[in-house]
Amino acid sequence: MGLLSLGTPLEFLESRDQNENVRQNGVEQLLYVFQAASKRDNDPLYWGDEIEYMMVDFDDNKQNAMLDVTHDEVLTTLNTDEYALCAAHNVHFHPEYGRFMLEATPNVPFKGYPGEYIEFNMQQRRYVAGLAYDKLPKNGSERLELLTLAVFPRMGCTDSVNIPDVWKHKKNTASCSLFLPDEVINRHIRFPTLTKNIRTRRGEKVCIQVPMYKDRNTPEKDDTVRERDWFPREDKESKLASKPGFIYMDAMGFGMGCSCLQTTFQAPNLDKARILYDFFANFAPVTLALSAASPIFKGWLADQDVRWSVISDAVDDRTPQERSVQPLLPEYNKDGYGGIAPELYDKVQRIPKSRYSTVDLFLGGSKFFNRSYNDTEVPVNERVLNSLLENHIAPLDYDLAKHFAHLYIRDPLVIFQENIYQDNKTSTNHFENIQSTNWQTLRIKPPTQEAVPDNKDVPGWRVEFRPLEIQLTDFENAAYSIFTYLLAEYLLTFSEEVNPYMPMSQIWQNMETAHKRDALREEEFYWKDSFEADNGKTSELTINEIFHNKNNGIFAKFINPILCHKGFVHERWEELKESSEHLRLYYYLKLISNRASGKTPSIAKFLRDFVLDHKDYKQDSRVSKIINYDLLELCGRITRLDDSNGELTKLFGSEIATYLPRSKLKVKKN
Ligand code: ADP
Ligand code: MG
Ligand code: MG
Ligand code: MG
Ligand code: MG
Ligand code: MG
């Protein structure tokens, strides 16, 4: 996300009159982008990652670990007083949904294969953030740490933020959550407005249900759901919405407060960006399972290993009508139309998925593509489809037009008063309003109207890979990022030779499979029998098979060939172990391989096992304060590659755990 514009955000019921205006002008802006940039070519493979951090406050006296929501000015400092320090270390900090969150990227993107520099850069981000954090005024009792946790285990439980008596004001008007105080939300007005507008449009609080891990003493229901009388409608919803066997959550922050690892790649031109997007579609579900790091939500062990569905539900602004369900409280949400303007009731469409969800459509444009691969129910905005296909600016082909026409079934979520009127030849503000609130496993990022073929000072066509869960260490995050880089480089090098297509419906099913507990070891995913043949035939394979099969496995089919092409090895990635120049890449790939084969655990399994073995655990699926405290202490040790309790070895296996502490990268301190 770029810099946040200041201004006056409109509440949904005020701004909805502008929805069509935003869509119409957004489409025109997109067409001017295509007019300027569709012929752009030969852009280099610039790329970069995004890492999201949580600021955690350890109270050693009370043995409690909390989200730190009191030092968010660190982000301002990092973009003002400490800006030069950031630039000198090639790091850049961005706002995120949570007041306790920071996002960081390289300041200047990488060009091609960065080697271990990427991990070094990630270390610089922690180092620089730590310096800025240390300079802030403190009350003296806190001990603060920056952790890369996919989900904060006790988010929404008592004493899980570091403000004493956080509920005493009885005001929680953005989310109306029973559990999560609005103090977790970024102070910038965009974020509480987003929270509120999603709720208003939906006509109900958001509703997140995660299967609860079933142990001997696990209660039938999430017994933290209770009555309250602050908000007449919202406070009645929770009991109706929560179901036996599920953890119930009711606020945007439970999802957008999770941390992801994302990578963005520039393609040489638009056609290659489309092919890269289609190629990555297969990888999103399997790498989600491979990166699983979310076994606990709201103080309960989950029977699920990943965060994805939680974010999906947390920003689901669809009305009951659009979801084809009955409203929870018909007296407040008549006929389930939510916040839709009455004059539009007869235009309401059924919408099968949340605006945060897996990709819907292959973009096509490659010789291997045919439309039968796009075999799922994907509603489109017909008016937008027609204007993208037929216009005087830059008509799009059907498959690309359909992709954007699908994004445009959504309403804008936040409109700023000051931004209503834009020059469509120079602004992409309205386009980005819709684009940036369609959160899918992949995103094609168009450039701006400035990106004419000769203007190489501005970015070109990019594809973002978004499914990955953040990992605890810079080592792992570098490994997963580089892995996605190698896939991208493979595809961009050999795009003429690889047919990536399989039915989209199977990719959707893979995404569901990826959520199951231990999917990494226990489940089977659809995977192509061959990436050469001119068909989309698949079989169901385990993740181990998907990575290690001789003919259609990821290492044999994609990783080894690109490493050979780069001259790093003669045949197989394992040769890197003998390399002096690329030794660390061996360990990055070893981590991926070990996790795929089940030799070493995912973070999700590692954290779940820690809870199950904890002396305070009562076989009731509850993660108490003390378990949470010990667990986050453990996460801190892992982050620092401290193997004094043998935990690093347990997580990574002895080969990696022996290598890592001995070969720490040196952080540049200037
Ligand atoms: P968003 O939040 O919209 O995904 P960010 O700015 O947070 O965007 O992250 C974008 C990522 O893309 C960063 O890692 C950045 O280094 C990288 N990046 C920047 N410019 C380019 C480019 N021209 N091509 C590819 N990646 C780029
Ligand atoms: Mg970002
Ligand atoms: Mg982010
Ligand atoms: Mg985000
Ligand atoms: Mg991103
Ligand atoms: Mg099988």
Q: Residue 509: its pLDDT value, please?
A: 98
Residues 457 and 498 in one domain: no
Band (pLDDT 50/70/90 cuts) for residue 670 is very low
**Tally of domains within the chain:** 2
% of the chain surpassing 70 pLDDT: 99
Residue 106 Cβ contacting ligand 1 at under 6 Å: yes
Mean pLDDT of 514-528: 98
Residues 357 and 436 in one domain: yes
Residues 542 and 623 in one domain: yes
Q: Which ligand is nearest to the CA of 460?
A: 1
Residue 96 Cβ contacting ligand 1 at under 6 Å: no
**Pocket test residue of 40, 96, 264 for ligand 1, highest count of atoms within 8 A of CB:** 264
Q: Atom 20 of ligand 1 has which residue's CA nearest to it?
A: 109
Residue 50 Cβ contacting ligand 1 at under 6 Å: yes
Per the domain annotation, does 249 fall within a domain? yes
Residues 455 and 570 in one domain: no
Residue 52 Cβ contacting ligand 1 at under 6 Å: no
Residues 248 and 118 in one domain: yes
Q: Atom 1 of ligand 1 has which residue's CA nearest to it?
A: 1
Residues 481 and 455 in one domain: no
pLDDT at 2 over 50: no
Atom of ligand 1 nearest to the CA of 262: 4
pLDDT at 668 over 90: no
Residues 437 and 489 in one domain: no
Q: Residue 611: its pLDDT value, please?
A: 98
Distance 554 CA to ligand 1 centre (A): 26
Per the domain annotation, does 602 fall within a domain? yes
Partners of 264 in the beta sheet?
48, 464
pLDDT at 107 over 80: yes
Mean pLDDT of 367-373: 95
pLDDT at 436 over 90: yes
* Mean pLDDT, the chain, integer: 96
Partners of 144 in the beta sheet?
57
Residue 46 Cβ contacting ligand 1 at under 6 Å: yes
Distance 49 CA to ligand 5 centre (A): 8
Q: Which ligand is nearest to the CA of 544?
A: 6
Q: How confident is the model over 544-590, as pLDDT tens digits?
A: 999 999 999 999 999 999 999 999 999 999 999 999 999 999 999 99
Band (pLDDT 50/70/90 cuts) for residue 6 is confident
Residues 313 and 447 in one domain: yes
Q: Atom 5 of ligand 1 has which residue's CA nearest to it?
A: 1
Distance CA 403, CA 147 (A): 36
Mean pLDDT of 416-437: 97
pLDDT at 218 over 70: yes
Q: Residue 667: its pLDDT value, please?
A: 56
Per the domain annotation, does 669 fall within a domain? no
For residue 12, what is the enclosing H or E element?
helix 12-15
Residue 459 Cβ contacting ligand 1 at under 6 Å: yes
pLDDT at 58 over 90: yes
Determine the distance from the C-alpha atom of residue 148 to the mean position of all C-alpha atoms in its chain, rounded to a whole number. Answer: 13
Domain-ending residue, one of 432, 465, 498: 465
Distance 539 CA to ligand 6 centre (A): 7
% of the chain surpassing 90 pLDDT: 94
Per the domain annotation, does 68 fall within a domain? yes
Atom of ligand 1 nearest to the CA of 50: 14
Residues 305 and 237 in one domain: yes
Per the domain annotation, does 1 fall within a domain? no
**For residue 141, is it left (φ>0), alpha (ψ between -120 and 50) or beta?**
alpha
Residues 405 and 545 in one domain: no
Q: Give the CATH number of the domain where residue 379 resides.
A: 3.30.590.50
Q: Which ligand is nearest to the CA of 545?
A: 6
Domain-ending residue, one of 447, 465, 483: 465
Residue 114 Cβ contacting ligand 1 at under 6 Å: no
Sign of the C-alpha dihedral computed for residues 494, 499, 504 and 505 taken in this order:
negative
Q: Residue 503: its pLDDT value, please?
A: 97
Residue closest to 225 by CA, chosen among 244, 204, 203: 244
What residues make up the domain containing 554? 474-662
The tally of CA atoms less than 13 A away on the side-chain side of residue 393 is 17
Residue 94 Cβ contacting ligand 1 at under 6 Å: yes
Mean pLDDT of 490-506: 96
Mean pLDDT of 223-239: 95
Distance 551 CA to ligand 6 centre (A): 15
CB-CB neighbours of 221 under 10 Å:
16
Residue 465 Cβ contacting ligand 1 at under 6 Å: no
Distance 23 CA to ligand 4 centre (A): 22
Write the ipTM: 0.96
Mean pLDDT of 91-108: 98
Band (pLDDT 50/70/90 cuts) for residue 279 is very high
Q: Give the CATH number of the domain where residue 587 resides.
A: 1.10.150.710
Residue closest to 201 by CA, chosen among 318, 349, 314, 327: 318
Mean pLDDT of 132-139: 88
Residue 9 Cβ contacting ligand 1 at under 6 Å: no
CB 559 within 8 A of CB 568: no
Q: How confident is the model over 300-318, as pLDDT tens digits?
A: 999 999 999 999 999 999 9
**Pocket test residue of 1, 50, 91, 434 for ligand 1, highest count of atoms within 8 A of CB:** 50
Note the helical H segments in 347-428. Answer: 382-389, 398-407
Distance CA 70, CA 61 (A): 19
Band (pLDDT 50/70/90 cuts) for residue 666 is low
Per the domain annotation, does 41 fall within a domain? yes
Domain-ending residue, one of 465, 487, 508: 465
Residues 254 and 289 in one domain: yes
Per the domain annotation, does 6 fall within a domain? no
Residues 301 and 200 in one domain: yes
Per the domain annotation, does 539 fall within a domain? yes
Q: Residue 1: its pLDDT value, please?
A: 40
pLDDT at 171 over 50: yes
The tally of CA atoms less than 13 A away on the side-chain side of residue 527 is 24
Distance 185 CA to ligand 3 centre (A): 14
Distance CA 363, CA 205 (A): 34
Distance 246 CA to ligand 3 centre (A): 27
Residue 533 Cβ contacting ligand 1 at under 6 Å: no
